[in-house]
Amino acid sequence: MARSQRVRAVSRICYVERTFHARARSVIAQANAICEEYTNQGLALTLRQLHYQFVARGLYENTAANYDRLGRIVSDARLAGELDWAYIVDRTRNLVALSHWDDPGQIIEAAAKQFRTDKWAEQPKRVEVWVEKNALAGVLDSVCPSEDVPYFATIGYNGQSEQWAAARRLGAYIAAGQSVVILHLGDHDPQGIDMTRDIRERLALFIGKDIGYSLLDKLEVKRIALTMDQVREHNPPPNFVKESSITRAYVEEFGPECWELDALEPAFIVDLIRSEIEACRDSDLWVEATGREALMRRELNDALGGSPSP
């Protein structure tokens, strides 16, 4: 199973001396074992994903109190040098900065390594992956770049500006003769289920008005997770449905329990997305496009006098 570059754990540094009682030490040992397992797969976990691993492995129950306690223990353990900082990631807060170079040759070399062609240009379909939560964007980063597929987190219901911009982008593909597939991943709760409908309907509104409603058969919004079949197969820990204006219809169809996407194994999500992308792709056209890209990159490296990029 292909994976992105492995997550590298940093040295454990003791910033604050702490003494842990036996119960906390057991939690720290379990957290280290789980995180090391995922590090070896090239994946880092959010705190919530780690929490669900504790629940799935029967180490404690799925309660807010246990989640909060795990967060406190993880924080203290990192400060005390008992848990690697790279094991747990926060995908909601990221620094944005410009790149810098020591000399002009470095940026030319970097440009050669980053050279890409649009390998989907000749495909019959265009694919994008949309996920409900920003915390899961890192999981998408483990698969989408290698497949040359755009992805982003809607962070709940997608904003109107981004939805309109997406419709313009996707409508241009449809107008040029390609079909479009949005692979959507969200929680299995009233809002998460409704978000798939909302994406489909608003895209149809904007695209239909722009290029014609007769072309909407070329737009597919496919919910690939979390589905009820996946809930039955993987048995993630349930939560109780929170009251909202759309709760009744959900409860009538699925019952009073709901499930979070975060509770699925990250490796399962990666493999699911990869298989869905491959199903949308013409493999012969992909091999040809990949070969052309590799040839162009070699020509660029030869012109620069460098060694071929991998």
Residues 127-169 have pLDDT tens digits of 999 999 988 887 898 899 999 999 999 999 999 999 999 999 9
The one-letter code for the residue type at 19 is T
Helices (H) and strands (E) in the chain, counts: 11, 6
Kindly tell me if the per-residue pLDDT of 10 is higher than 60: no
- The residue with greater pLDDT, 287 or 297, is 287
Provide the pLDDT confidence category of residue 74 given band limits of 50, 70 and 90.
very high
CA separation for the pair 193, 186 (Å, rounded): 7
What's the pLDDT at 3? 44
Kindly tell me if the per-residue pLDDT of 293 is higher than 50: yes
Cβ contacts of residue 155 below 8 Å, gap of 6+? 132, 133, 134
Tokens of 28: 């720290």
Mean pLDDT of the chain: 90
Kindly tell me if the per-residue pLDDT of 250 is higher than 60: yes
What's the pLDDT at 110? 80
Give the mean model confidence (pLDDT) for residues 271-285: 98
CA separation for the pair 112, 299 (Å, rounded): 10
Q: Phi/psi zone of residue 291: left (φ > 0), alpha (ψ -120 to 50 degrees), beta? A: alpha
The one-letter code for the residue type at 223 is R
Highest-confidence range of 22-31, 82-91, 130-139, by mean pLDDT?
22-31
Cβ(43)–Cβ(266) below 8 Å: yes
Strand partners, 290: none
Tokens of 22: 């036996």
What's the pLDDT at 221? 98
The one-letter code for the residue type at 185 is L
Kindly tell me if the per-residue pLDDT of 82 is higher than 50: yes
Tokens of 86: 């790279």
What is the C-alpha end-to-end distance of the chain, expressed in Å?
A: 19
pTM assigned to the model: 0.81
Kindly tell me if the per-residue pLDDT of 306 is higher than 70: no
What's the pLDDT at 34? 95
CA separation for the pair 88, 52 (Å, rounded): 13
Taking the CB of residue 12, how many other CB atoms lie within 10 A of it?
A: 15
Kindly tell me if the per-residue pLDDT of 245 is higher than 70: yes
Strand partners, 179: 125
Domain 124-281: which topology? Dna Topoisomerase Vi A Subunit; Chain: A, domain 2 (3.40.1360)
What's the pLDDT at 1? 32
Q: Cis link prior to 203 (omega < 30° from 0)? A: no
Kindly tell me if the per-residue pLDDT of 95 is higher than 90: no
User: Helices in the chain by DSSP H: which ranges?
Assistant: 22-39, 47-56, 64-79, 104-114, 137-140, 160-175, 190-211, 228-234, 247-254, 266-280, 283-304
Cβ(149)–Cβ(128) below 8 Å: yes
- Domain ranges for the chain: 22-87, 124-281
Phi, psi torsion values for 277, nearest 5 degrees: -65, -45
Using CA atoms, how far residue 252 sits from 72, 190, 198, 224, in Å, is 38, 11, 20, 22
- The residue with greater pLDDT, 196 or 105, is 196
CA separation for the pair 303, 109 (Å, rounded): 11
What's the pLDDT at 180? 98
pLDDT, tens only, 113-126: 888 999 999 999 99
Kindly tell me if the per-residue pLDDT of 93 is higher than 90: no
CA separation for the pair 289, 142 (Å, rounded): 22
Least confident of 65-79, 81-95, 245-259, 272-286: 81-95
Give the mean model confidence (pLDDT) for residues 79-84: 94
Give the mean model confidence (pLDDT) for residues 82-88: 92
Cβ(170)–Cβ(219) below 8 Å: yes
